[in-house]
Structure 1
Amino acid sequence: MRIPEIPIGGRKKVVPSDVILFEAEINYTRLHLSNGQYVMVATTLKKLEKSFSPFRFIYRTHKGFMVNLNFVQSLESNEVTLKNNRKVLVSRRRRELLLKNMGEMNYKV
């Protein structure tokens, strides 16, 4: 089954599995892609969170970040290290659910 492209703002679309990280910047969001590029869109992280909600591997770790759990390398007390060596904060309130989601997806924590 092919994963559909999700509209991210304007005429831009992206395949969810290609996004490593969503990073909020006021009313814009920077999407870090698996090919090393990034895309800046004039869409809030909250709107993108709703669009990507059907995909369980996309998880909001903090008010300013959403990550693709397929690219998580390690999880420490308050941050996640991604495979591109980027460290992302995890809020205290979202940490327990993150551990649960990673456990359901058979990740080693």
Structure 2
Amino acid sequence: MKIAIVDDEIHCIESLEMDLESLESEHEIVFKTSNPLEALENLPKLKLDILFLDVEMPKLNGFELLDQLHKLNFDVVFTTAYSQYALQAFKNKAFSFLLKPVDVDELAEVLASWETDQKKRSVLLDEIAVKELLEKIKYEGYVKSKIAIPTVNGFEFLKVEEIMYCQSENNYTRIHLQCGEHKLISKTLKDVEKTLTNYMFLRIHQSYLINPKFLKQYHKNDGGYVVMDNGNSLPVSKQKRHLLTEFYDIISRD
């Protein structure tokens, strides 16, 4: 926790330093001054977490100082002997407000609250970063080419274009790949179908979901079945025959 203190009364700076040292929080005072003009020059150059800022100061009060700082990359805790400044402090987006003489317990509460707030911000930033990454991946077409399947140690990424068909095995699904390999995962075919819903896979039977890219033949006789590129024959249920007819109509259009 990197801290700066700006107060025109030197004894107030020293007192706050002593109070901070009495607490168990890990912190470093990287800047302190009794001259607000010096603070105006140096604060933008610092890597800072919290600024303890007095309100009543000659030449430039605390609010005026903040107004002249175009961008704040730190949180502000106002310290003043005058409670009437509290409302104005929070209007200036202060993180907190401490009345002089500063109570050590209240100071500890402010620091603890700041640390809790930082953790929340960190989680939020992580979530935002992940969402931005997913949007970028989606935009670049990566999501359209791969899916993640669970494994014992984590996930394995499969190219959608290499999935020939998926076969239900009770509460599991066996994924058959173009290379002849197959992956058994602990997801139902219904769940896998949801994952592949945007990839034009066809659910031709209660037990089969196929990639039409590998569809070689469709036979209407013998109850209806398809032949895949690897020579395997898969049944087609009566309720799903219209899907193959519609698929044929689509790919036959000019």
TM-score, normalized by length of structure 1? 0.88
Moved over 4 A (4+): none
Q: How many residues align?
A: 106
How far 1:9 moved relative to its partner? Answer: 2.7
Q: Which has the higher strand share?
A: 1
What residue identity is the alignment partner of 2:202?
Y
CA contact (8 A) 2:204 2:243 kept: no
| CA-atom RMSD in angstroms | 1.6
Ranked by relative contact order (alpha carbons within 8 Å, sequence separation 6 or more), the top structure is 1
Give the counterpart of 1:67 among 191, 210, 229. Answer: 210
| In structure 1, C-alpha distance between the alignment counterparts of 2:183 and 2:249, rounded to whole Å | 30
What residue identity is the alignment partner of 2:247?
N
What residue identity is the alignment partner of 2:204?
T
Q: 1:40-99 CA deviation, whole Å, 9 max, x = no partner?
A: 11111000000000011x111000001110111110011000010000011101101221
1:93 aligns with 239
Q: Note if 1:15 corresponds to 2:156.
A: no
How far 1:36 moved relative to its partner? Answer: 1.1
| In structure 1, C-alpha distance between the alignment counterparts of 2:197 and 2:251, rounded to whole Å | 16
Q: Tell me, which stretches of 5 or more residues in structure 2 are unaligned?
A: 1-140
Q: Which has the higher helix share?
A: 2
1:5 aligns with 146
State the structure with more CA Rg.
2
How far 1:7 moved relative to its partner? Answer: 1.9
The change in CA–CA distance for 1:105 and 1:8 in structure 2 (over 3 A counts) is farther
TM-score, normalized by length of structure 2? 0.40
What residue identity is the alignment partner of 2:171?
N
Identity %: 25
| In structure 1, C-alpha distance between the alignment counterparts of 2:249 and 2:215, rounded to whole Å | 13
| In structure 2, C-alpha distance between the alignment counterparts of 1:19 and 1:26, rounded to whole Å | 20
